Structure 1
Amino acid sequence: MYETDSKATMSQQPTGADGQRQQPPRLKHRCFIVRHGQSIANVQGLIVSDPAVGCHDFGLSEVGVEQALEAGRALKTLLTQSATPVTALTIHTSDFLRTLQTAHHLASELVPFPVTVTSTPALRERAFGDYNHTSVAHYNDVWAHDAARVCDAQTGVESPEDVRRRAVAFVMQADEDAGEGEVCVFVGHGDTLQILQTAFEGISAWDHRTLPPLGTAEVRELP
């Protein structure tokens, strides 16, 4: 299981103690984030964040498959229109079933680009602790704590800072390892990807819900 450091400090937030925005990390290559398509868990209204379950069950619904294929077509259009030639495309995906399926459906629509799909625990769903396998209505409880900058440690919910720490570290390393003209795509989960985006927007990880919510199979380019 992917390990995170549970000791968050103010210096690791993208806004300083005086509220000033800090300099976001700089990417060398074009990088996109894609949330997974509609999953069976979405249809059933369940939170599924336990890797022991999510890596093997609760894959995409039929609607989710079509959403992932459409996302692949949309991404292909973006890359085809790019002024910079694309030499390779690497899809880095969470190892949950719903994200793996999304990544492979994306890849199927990206021919003739040379595509590689690789999975990682670094992009897994945010750990929702005691809320796992309960109603998605509990997301609102977690997000209220986030907005108040309250770490809900008693319920075992992963803090926004810990989520961002693991996700940003992975993205920056993938960007560093990418070759000239390579495009990186990161397929993950709603909270994980929005929290990741806060780093590149120069805002606190705790304020991830101030960003427009990522729709299922939505494609966004990181700034």
Structure 2
Amino acid sequence: MANTPPTLRLPRRNRYLLMRHGHSEANAAGRIISRPERGLSGFGLSPRGHAQLKALLADWPWPPPDRLVHSDFRRTTETAGWIARHFGLPLSADVGLRERNFGELEGLSDCHYPDVWTLDVDDPEHQVFGVESVTSVADRMLAVIAALEAEAHSETILLVSHGDPLQILLTAVEERPLSTHRNREPLLPAGIVPLP
């Protein structure tokens, strides 16, 4: 994939809500947790994240989801668990929704994110620091949507993922250059936005 992503032509058969996990222990610590070795079993939701989800579900502003698909990291699984219990839905994990892998920056301060994002602007295919390229993230996120489109229709599907992958997915679907994924307003923890 080049800087211009392939399109997901409308109309889609399903409606998608994109959700970022609630505030996490990694957010609270200001650490980059992007690899399965740490993210699957550790760094779940913080007390603030639990409070965010409780408040969100007390006044849910979106159509009730028919289906729930989430990244298998602990913070996204715990977020999805809140939603699943509230709406009586089963959990369905998909590795395609995982956090962007930040390679050598794993475990370091989140002050290093801008170092990667600056490089993204120049080359969305770069893998400096061993990071997963923007184009790779876009490919796997779009593949999740494509698979859901092939197997379901007329459903409201909630996808629970992470900040960077969701920004990249939205940029791809809006047919903007992938190098501009940080130009859009970031989705805050526990934030939800419909897929355009």
- How does the TM-score come out when normalised to structure 1? 0.81
Q: Which amino acid aligns with 1:125?
A: E
Q: Residue 174 of structure 2 is aligned with which of 192, 196, 201? A: 201
In the alignment, does 2:107 pair up with 1:133? yes
Query: Is 1:56–2:41 an aligned residue pair?
Result: yes
Distance 2:50 2:122 in 1: 36
The alpha carbon displacement at 1:172 in A equals: 1.9
Which residue, 56, 67, 73 being the options, matches 2:52? 67
Name which of 2, 5, 13 aligns with 2:4.
13
Q: For structure 1, which segment, 119-128 or 203-212, has the greater mean C-alpha deviation from structure 2 after superposition?
A: 203-212
The structure with the largest alpha-carbon Rg is 1
Shift of 1:199: 1.7
After TM superposition, the runs of 4+ consecutive aligned structure 1 residues lying more than 4 A away are: none
Give the deviation of 1:211 after TM superposition: 1.1
CA deviations 1:97-156 (Å, max 9, x no partner) are: 00000001122333xxx5232001110000000011000000000110111226442411
Given that residues 57 and 86 in structure 2 are in contact (C-alpha distance below 8 angstroms), is that contact kept between their aligned partners in structure 1?
yes
| 1:97 aligned partner, one-letter code | R
TM-score (normalizing by structure 2): 0.91
Q: Distance in 2 between matches of 1:90 and 1:140?
A: 34
1:5 corresponds to which residue? Answer: none
CA–CA distance in structure 2, aligned partners of residues 196 and 49 of structure 1: 17
| Matched residue, 1:99 | 76
1:45 paired residue among 30, 53, 61: 30
CA contact (8 A) 1:59 1:98 kept: yes
The correspondence for 2:19, drawn from 31, 34, 42, is 34
Closer/same/farther in 2, CA of residues 211 and 116 from structure 1, 3 Å limit: same
Alignment gaps of 5+ in structure 2: none
Q: Does 1:159 align with 2:133?
A: yes
CA distance in 1, matches of 2:57, 2:181: 25
- 1:179 deviates by 3.9
Q: How many residues align?
A: 195
Secondary structure of the corresponding residue to residue 70 of structure 2: strand
Report what 2:185 is aligned to.
Answer: 212
For 2:177 and 2:58, the matched residues in 1 are separated by: 33
Q: 2:67 aligns with which of 90, 98, 121?
A: 90
Deviates more, 1:148-157 or 1:122-131: 148-157
Alignment match, 2:97 = 123
Check conservation: 2:124, 2:135, Cα contact below 8 A: no
Alpha-carbon RMSD across the aligned residues, in angstroms, is: 1.9
Distance change in 2, residues 1:104/1:127 (3 Å)? same
**In percent, how many aligned pairs have the same letter?**
34
**Is 1:186–2:144 an aligned residue pair?**
no
Amino acid at match of 1:177: E
Residue 68 of structure 1, CA deviation: 2.3
The SS at the match of 2:104 is helix
Q: CA deviation at 1:201?
A: 1.0
Which deviations, in whole Å up to 9, do the C-alpha atoms of 1:15-67 show, x marking residues without a partner?
xxxxxxx7543321110100000000100000001101100000000110121
